[in-house]
Amino acid sequence: MAERRLDYVWYGGRPSIDFVNTRRYRFEAGGSELLREPADLGRWLEAAGLVPDRAVVDEALLARALELREAIDLALVAVVEGEPLSPEPVAAINAWLASAAQYPPRLDLDEGVPVYRANAAPADAFGALCRIAVDAAEMLGSELRTRLRICGGVNCSARFIDNSAARRRRWCSMAGCGNRAKASQFRQTAAAKARTGG
């Protein structure tokens, strides 16, 4: 059976945001779900570099993963909108953080040079999801939360970290949404000038 082509996006700036972006077009009822079946999650985790090989995922783990993803998104949206964060998404993320303890930080050697690893690299889907929860907690619990954004592009709802120097980035990607917005603005300006004879 041929694998479905999935339109992954990687401009979130963090693994947890890229994971949230596996549900696209959130402004539409239901959005567009990229993780419809367990194999989809396995493919995404591998493509994201969170597991070395295709991870085995069952229906129960997929359901838990989607709950984690939506908890991260609820927290992200609350932060972006300047709203107080409700306890439910925090509890969901904390449940995963408790499980992340089985992937402790460690000191490795790379050609005789010590290298700190924040979390041991998991080889399975569950461990990869724990890493996503840790990433989300680090992001939400630090000044990074002030740089969280939701794309201002028409027909887009992607989430991202604004790493621009001025911290005024509005679009998930300049090549996509940013370019479309600027082209639309140009057309509107040209049409207005044509109407007024200017």
pLDDT digits (tens), the chain, 198 positions: 455 556 899 999 999 999 999 999 888 777 899 999 999 999 999 999 999 888 999 999 999 999 999 999 999 999 999 999 999 999 999 999 999 888 887 888 899 999 887 766 678 999 999 999 999 999 999 999 999 999 988 888 899 999 999 988 888 876 668 566 565 554 666 566 667 876
Tell me, what's the pLDDT at 152?
86
CATH code for the domain in which residue 99 is found: 1.10.3300.10
Residue 175 resides in a domain: no
Amino acid at 118: A
> Distances in Å between the alpha carbon of 17 and those of 59, 89, 109, 138?
22, 15, 30, 12
119 torsion bin: left (phi>0), alpha (psi -120 to 50), beta (else): beta
Phi-psi region of 55 (alpha: psi -120 to 50; beta: other; left: phi over 0): beta
Task: Provide the whole-model pTM.
Answer: 0.84
Show the tokens assigned to 32. Answer: 């567009």
Which residues constitute the domain of residue 53?
A: 15-168
Q: Let me know: does 172 contact 7? Beta carbons within 8 Å.
A: no
In a domain, 193, yes or no: no
3 state DSSP class of 140: helix
Q: Is residue 63 part of a domain?
A: yes
Residue 75 belongs to some domain of the structure = yes
For residue 183, being part of any structural domain is answered with no
Domain count across the chain? 1
Give pLDDT, residue 186: 47
Whether residue 163 is contained in a domain is answered as: yes
Question: Residue 110 domain-assigned?
Answer: yes
Report yes or no on 194 lying in a domain.
no
